[in-house]
Amino acid sequence: MMKIAAAAPGRRPYALVWALVVALVLGLALAVTALLWSQRNAQLAEAEAQLGRFATGAEVGMNRALLALDVLLATLEQVVPAAEATDAPVSTQLLAAMARQNLMVREVALLDGQGTPVLVPVPGASMQVPPDFVAAALAPAVPMLVVSNPLVSSRSAERVLYVARALRAPGGGRWLAVAQVPVDALVAVLLQGMPLTGAEVTLERGRGDLLVGLAPAQGLVEGEGASGPPLARVALEGGLPSWHGSTRLLSTPGLVAMRPLMYEDLWVTASLPREAALADWSVQSQLIIGAALALGLTMVAAGVLATVHLRRMHRARAVVAQSKALLDEALGAMLSGFMLLDAQGNVVQWNQRFEEFFPWLAGVVRPGVSFQRVLQTTVHYHLPGASPEDKRAWVEERLRRHGSASGTLEQRLPSGRHVQVIEQPTPDGGLVILYHDLTELRRATAEVEHLAFYDPLTGLPNRRLLLERIEQACVASQRAGSHGAVLFIDLDHFKTLNDTLGHETGDELLRQVARRLEAGVRAGDLVARLGGDEFVVMLLDLAGDVPTATVQARTVAEQIVALLARPYSLTGQLHHGGASLGVTLFGAEVQTASEVLKQADIAMYEAKARSGNGLCFFDPSMQVALSERARLLADLKRALPAEQFVLHLQPQLDNQGQVAGAEALLRWQHPERGLVPPGQFIAVAEDSELIVPIGRWVLESACRMLARWQDDPALRELCLSVNVSARQFRQPDFVDLVLSSLAASGARAHRLELELTESLVLEDVDDSIAKMHRLRTRGVRFAVDDFGTGYSSLAYLTRLPLQRLKIDRSFVQHLGESHSDDVVVQTILGMARNLALDVVAEGVETQQQCDFLAVHGCEVYQGYLFARPMPVGEFEEYVKGRAR
């Protein structure tokens, strides 16, 4: 035995241990410091983001409130003529009624250029408006809304603001419409954004005058101005919408966000003290520091234990080193089992691995025992149910192969292991037998084969194996004179389930569907998964005549539809789903597997088009329709570059029979199909994303048309409506596209009206409101198309910057005939009046319909009663002819 001398103990391992401990402790300290700093910055960033959203909410609310006040004061221009009439009480009542339209307004008055009341809600009363405010409100050349500094009302002793707008006085000169607004009423408007604990909010002028201030601890704050730099200077110097500084009211260190209002020199700010922003971080930092200290002490203790352990290991190292040489030599022989036989076929030596392969030989194998005796014992375990003759034949065959030393063979052991046996003769006439374990190799080979032909998620055959089986079934059905059927299954609304509950839940649904399909078909039928949520069932041995085979296939398909419609238990809750099935028969003629599968796929899409959760048999006409759709799509892709699209206009007339505007309608001038109406190609364009560039062309063409009309007195006051698709509206650059189209053409924005459907607006209300407000502030008008056909929420409707509702033609065409349609139209007209919205009735085709709409307050009409859609040139002549 070779002896290995023990190495002298050294100090290097211990130094490495303590160096590692020190490095870990320092690393922990640095990591904790970096984590705390990162969390602090993240907390500040989150607070800054929340503050920005809060400021944006306050900005939107205040813009809406001031716009409502501006609109209210602007409408007083209608009262101006009444101020000179003899019936003054009527004008006073009208003034009071208009003031009641806005809950924030206390009083509304009409003053002359010197601030003298011309018209007040209460005869004899006066409004104490500062003279300098009257001069400031009348100073701008263009009438605009002007807001005063806070004052104390002489009547109610509450703090109020005055808002004013210059009006044209009869006979020349200018009057002033003034409204008194309590400061308290504006507080609720400023707090419309998301609540933020500890935040301050102000309404101030750019030079720093504080109009409204609200601090969390003090409530309303009074003062001449806000702290910090004037916002106008911050904006002029290129300041960001938010910055770190002092809060605007309490002057404590914190975050500040500012937002300019749509009215000049008015700003909304939101401030958050840094202490409030970092409150959660302070608590978390204390916990993290405590945990880091505990972990650091644990590391030091681990270093102590490691030192003690190394000392003990060093003493045992000499003993282990002495045994290592012998163990290394033995390990090489233990990788495989082996047995050594002498020239007479008797056992000389074997290893432990051999006994692991053949445990039943543990009491049989010994030096000198014959290999035949080993085989006679082994055969009882290899062939437990065989007859004595079969067992004897197996032993003789094994000895024959052993005598010839022909190389290798493979055995499958009762334990399930696969063993490769290699026999090699020795120089003295003996034999070395090696036993290599091939179990993992065979398992990997089987797994690769399974992956090649089976779906790993459900264990069902995949597309590759399915196509092979369909090919075989087609040949067999033709030979036997029978039919088979392929059922193509697609789960309804699977993508919605995946998006809402996650892919793991979707995978569980697919596994349950696979088990149901396997349980719902006959033993000889095949169930496969193509991928995603698509499955295929192949039915074999159906009847030879087509009607009977069709009935048999339909019966199974209906059972599958019912089976897949049953509730599923997913993540502790019930899911109700369904499936669309396409069915096709095969066997009557020569077909490839791909053709059969394609026919079933086409039938499935037809079933899905019929609202899903049902089945449909393949019909050759379906393939014709699909091919026609493909040809239409190919032509459609060439239409825009080839300039084949044209716009037709349908006039919109008012009660006096004058043209008030038009709706732009797209037509496709195909070189072979002729003039194609939108109903034949819009759906294809939307499905293929072509609707986005087509919609851009329509919008740009409409803007160019409006710009051209500006030079024609008969056309310049017309409003042009353009329909906007959902895909186009949801594009991130939609607002920029509209504004760039207006800017490039030079068209006036307030003559462009964009028509949106109810479902489009309500699909993402916040996004819709944001885009509409951006365009509305530039003057673009909005209308809700086909109003009444969706499920509008009145709450959402009041939030949208709309100018017009369009009553859908489905309600108009039965006016005077259907009581329910009469009630719907009357309700829409009444609601529009209450919301101060214009109404256009579409599809007016009879005088009876027109008279009904006129009686109930409709003012604009569109339909065949007046004119059909016509080319642009013809429309322009039509307008000029009506104006004569």
Q: How confident is the model at residue 795 (pLDDT cuts 50, 70, 90)?
A: low
Distances (CA, A) of 658 to 194, 283, 848, 882: 47, 71, 19, 7
**Per-residue pLDDT at 8:** 42
Residue 662 has pLDDT above 90, yes or no: yes
**Per-residue pLDDT at 82:** 55
Q: Is residue 694 part of a domain?
A: yes
Distance of alpha carbon 774 from alpha carbon 749, whole angstroms: 12
If asked whether residues 608 and 671 sit together in one domain, one would say no
Burial group, residue 119, by CB count within 10 angstroms (0-12, 13-18, 19+)? buried
Distance of alpha carbon 428 from alpha carbon 340, whole angstroms: 12
Q: Which of 277, 312, 346 is the last residue of a domain?
A: 277
The average pLDDT across 668-690 equals 78
Q: Which of 116-120, 768-772, 827-831, 860-864 has the lowest mean pLDDT?
A: 116-120
Distance of alpha carbon 619 from alpha carbon 445, whole angstroms: 43
If asked whether residues 796 and 663 sit together in one domain, one would say yes
Contact between residue 537 and residue 486 where contact means Cβ atoms under 8 Å apart = yes
Q: Is residue 309 part of a domain?
A: no
Query: What is the CB neighbour count within 10 angstroms for residue 239?
Result: 14
Question: Strand, coil or helix: what is 117?
Answer: strand
Which of 616, 542, 535 is closest to 586 using CA atoms? 542
Q: Is residue 842 part of a domain?
A: yes
For residue range 209-263, what is the model confidence (pLDDT) as tens digits?
A: 888 888 876 677 776 667 778 876 777 666 667 778 888 888 889 888 888 988 8
Contact between residue 636 and residue 693 where contact means Cβ atoms under 8 Å apart = no
The kind and range of the H/E element at 298 are helix 279-333
Q: Which of 618, 645, 662 is the last residue of a domain?
A: 618
Distance of alpha carbon 425 from alpha carbon 428, whole angstroms: 8
The average pLDDT across 351-380 equals 79
Query: What is the CB neighbour count within 10 angstroms for residue 543?
Result: 15
Distance of alpha carbon 485 from alpha carbon 525, whole angstroms: 10
If asked whether residues 371 and 436 sit together in one domain, one would say yes
Distance of alpha carbon 94 from alpha carbon 104, whole angstroms: 18
Residue with tokens 């160019």: 704
Query: What is the CB neighbour count within 10 angstroms for residue 212?
Result: 22
Distance of alpha carbon 365 from alpha carbon 356, whole angstroms: 13
The kind and range of the H/E element at 782 are strand 781-787
Q: Is residue 325 part of a domain?
A: no
The kind and range of the H/E element at 34 are helix 12-75
**Per-residue pLDDT at 571:** 79
Q: Which of 51-55, 411-415, 506-510 has the lowest mean pLDDT?
A: 411-415
Tell me 461's DSSP state.
Answer: B
Residue 424 has pLDDT above 50, yes or no: yes
Q: What angle do CA 17, 22, 25 make, to 5 degrees?
A: 125
Q: Is residue 94 part of a domain?
A: yes
If asked whether residues 874 and 747 sit together in one domain, one would say yes
Q: Is residue 820 part of a domain?
A: yes
Q: Angle at which helices 388-404 and 371-382 pack, to 10 degrees?
A: 130
If asked whether residues 508 and 429 sit together in one domain, one would say no
Q: Which of 393, 411, 442 is the last residue of a domain?
A: 442
Question: Strand, coil or helix: what is 613?
Answer: coil
Residue 86 has pLDDT above 50, yes or no: no
Distance of alpha carbon 637 from alpha carbon 681, whole angstroms: 11
Q: Is residue 9 part of a domain?
A: no
**Per-residue pLDDT at 123:** 65
The average pLDDT across 397-406 equals 67
If asked whether residues 704 and 794 sit together in one domain, one would say yes
Q: What angle do CA 841, 847, 850 make, to 5 degrees?
A: 25
For residue range 596-643, what is the model confidence (pLDDT) as tens digits?
A: 888 888 888 878 877 777 788 876 665 555 666 667 777 778 877 888
The average pLDDT across 810-823 equals 82
The average pLDDT across 734-745 equals 92
* Average pLDDT in the chain: 81
**Per-residue pLDDT at 80:** 60
**How many residues are given for the chain?**
884
| Total number of domains in the chain | 4
Question: Averaging pLDDT over each range in 129-138, 212-221, 563-572, 739-748, which range is the top one?
Answer: 739-748
The bridge status of strand 781-787 relative to strand 804-807 is parallel
CATH number of domain containing 428: 3.30.450.20
CATH number of domain containing 695: 3.20.20.450
More confidently predicted of 91 and 406 = 91
Q: Which of 58-67, 271-280, 473-482, 785-794 has the lowest mean pLDDT?
A: 785-794
Distance of alpha carbon 489 from alpha carbon 227, whole angstroms: 68
Distance of alpha carbon 78 from alpha carbon 98, whole angstroms: 11
CATH number of domain containing 484: 3.30.70.270
Q: Is residue 528 part of a domain?
A: yes
Which of 164, 149, 161, 258 is closest to 209 using CA atoms? 149
Task: Kindly state the tokens that stand for 86.
Answer: 């003899």
**Per-residue pLDDT at 334:** 58
Domain containing 394: what range? 337-442
**Per-residue pLDDT at 663:** 93
Could you tell me which residues come within 8 angstroms of residue 855 by beta carbon, excluding any fewer than 6 positions away? none
Percentage above 70 pLDDT, the chain = 87
Contact between residue 782 and residue 763 where contact means Cβ atoms under 8 Å apart = no
Contact between residue 554 and residue 534 where contact means Cβ atoms under 8 Å apart = no
If asked whether residues 437 and 461 sit together in one domain, one would say no
What sign has the CA pseudo-torsion 34, 39, 42, 43?
A: negative
Which of 729, 652, 747, 732 is closest to 691 using CA atoms? 729
Distance of alpha carbon 663 from alpha carbon 754, whole angstroms: 10
**Per-residue pLDDT at 81:** 64
The pTM score is: 0.42
If asked whether residues 378 and 462 sit together in one domain, one would say no
**Per-residue pLDDT at 331:** 39
Distances (CA, A) of 72 to 105, 108, 782: 10, 10, 20
If asked whether residues 387 and 509 sit together in one domain, one would say no
If asked whether residues 125 and 244 sit together in one domain, one would say yes
Burial 247-280 (b: 16+ CB within 10 A, else e): bbbbeeebbbbbbbbbbeebbbbbbbbbebbbee
**Per-residue pLDDT at 826:** 86
Contact between residue 97 and residue 62 where contact means Cβ atoms under 8 Å apart = no
Distance of alpha carbon 808 from alpha carbon 783, whole angstroms: 12
**Per-residue pLDDT at 741:** 92
Phi, psi of 581 (to 5 degrees): -120, 135
Contact between residue 617 and residue 506 where contact means Cβ atoms under 8 Å apart = no
Residue with tokens 């008030």: 660
Residue 297 has pLDDT above 80, yes or no: yes
If asked whether residues 861 and 776 sit together in one domain, one would say yes
If asked whether residues 479 and 388 sit together in one domain, one would say no
Burial 384-411 (b: 16+ CB within 10 A, else e): eeeeeeebeebbeebeeebeeeeeeeee
Residue 772 has pLDDT above 50, yes or no: yes
